[in-house]
């Protein structure tokens, strides 16, 4: 399995679960509007990330 963003091979279990390597995951979590860290909701259905500070929301996968 490879990272969704950069295509590098994912080695640890956690990275495989989310489909991103640790570095790319940090970038995915960063809000493009205000630069804050977004909360990621992985409960069920599509994984969404939302920012408490500015209200920005996006679907990750």
Binding test (CB under 5 A) with Zn ion, winner from 33, 39, 42, 58: 33
Distance CA 5, CA 25 (A): 9
Distance CA 4, CA 22 (A): 12
Does 51 interact with Zn ion (rule: CB under 5 A)?
yes
Does 47 interact with Zn ion (rule: CB under 5 A)?
no
Which helix (H) or strand (E) segment is 24 a member of? helix 22-29
Binding test (CB under 5 A) with Zn ion, winner from 10, 28, 31, 49: 31
Residues that bind Zn ion (CB under 5 A): 3, 5-6, 21, 24, 31, 33-34, 36, 51, 53-54, 56
């Amino acid at each position: 399995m490879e990272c969704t963003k950069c295509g590098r091979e994912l080695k640890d279990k956690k990275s495989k679960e989310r489909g991103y390597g640790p570095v790319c995951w940090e970038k995915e979590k960063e809000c493009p509007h205000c630069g804050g860290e977004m909360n990621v909701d992985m409960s069920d259905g599509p994984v969404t990330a939302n920012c408490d500070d500015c209200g920005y929301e996006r679907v990750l996968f």
